[in-house]
Amino acid sequence: MTRRKFLLVGIDGLRVADALRPGAAPALAALIEAGSLHPMTMEVPTWSGPGWSSILTGTTHAQHGVFDNTFHGNTLSANADLLSRAFFADPTRGTFAAVSWPPLADPAGPGPVIATRSDQQRSGMHRLVIRDGETYGYRAGDGEIAAFSRLALRDAGPDASFVYLGEVDEAGHLYGGTSPEYAAALRRVDAHLAGIVAAVAARAETHDEDWLIGVTSDHGHVDAGGHGGADEVVTASFLALGRFVRGGSVHPTALVSRQRIRPDEVAGVLLAHLE
């Protein structure tokens, strides 16, 4: 029986309209061309903490209680992330997360959004890879995260995975959303995405597996850099979907009935693929 699996790739701080321009992000464009693109509007305030909390737990800001990057007063312990939900529904499922922004998964941080699940880590059913892009820079951090992810996806083939890349957001803050540095960071992150998608495609080709890949972002950046408000360039996001089986890519069946999606619906779309 063909085993179904999913991977969600999060690209922090992505200006969607710019990323979708011809030549800006060819790996993302190729995934969309073979799959589907679903516009999404992020809830205000447009900070990474609340944005990723909504995307990863399938809940709204009011439900998960995260309104900024301090995570103060959150109720994340009552709102399981999509990897935990995949495992709880079927304890034979392996899960994997690799992030370069520690609050998403570091048990010593202000979150985490993705549960540590120490028992499953000890049994080999759950693996976390965490790098500190805030302290040591996201270009190096994303490079390590991408390398770990390619190996884990190709060789271990976890059933439910999340990979986070943060350099685009860093460039937006440092140089602005319309800067050459921002565009260069997008090209580098897109190259990471190309390698990750290739690893999944190779895995699907050599195993009896049906993979759904999702790519999304938590917010954009204003021209001068920064986010948090309700500017359209900041609230505009998306969910891109691509599906890979033996023999190549096929059109994803998820969301065929409609185009637009909410942030709190992303987790459900990916989890539905496992059933």
**Would you state the pLDDT for residue 252?**
84
What fold is seen in the domain 3-274? Answer: Alkaline Phosphatase, subunit A (3.40.720)
Q: What is the mean pLDDT of residues 234-262?
A: 86
Give the dihedral sign, CA 2/266/268/77.
positive
**Would you state the pLDDT for residue 255?**
65
| pLDDT band (50, 70, 90) for residue 126 | very high
- Please state, in angstroms and rounded to a whole number, the distance separating the CA atoms of residues 112 and 149: 20
Q: What is the CA radius of gyration of the chain?
A: 17
- Phi/psi class of residue 13: alpha, beta or left (left: φ > 0; alpha: ψ in -120 to 50)? left
| Tens digit of each residue's pLDDT (9 = 90 or more) over 52-106 | 999 999 999 999 999 999 999 999 999 999 999 999 999 999 999 999 999 999 9
| pLDDT band (50, 70, 90) for residue 21 | very high
Decide: 170 and 185 in contact? Cβ < 8 Å. Answer: yes
- Please state, in angstroms and rounded to a whole number, the distance separating the CA atoms of residues 96 and 79: 18
Q: What is the mean pLDDT of residues 118-136?
A: 98
| Tens digit of each residue's pLDDT (9 = 90 or more) over 149-179 | 999 999 999 999 999 999 999 999 999 999 9
**Would you state the pLDDT for residue 257?**
53
**Would you state the pLDDT for residue 251?**
81
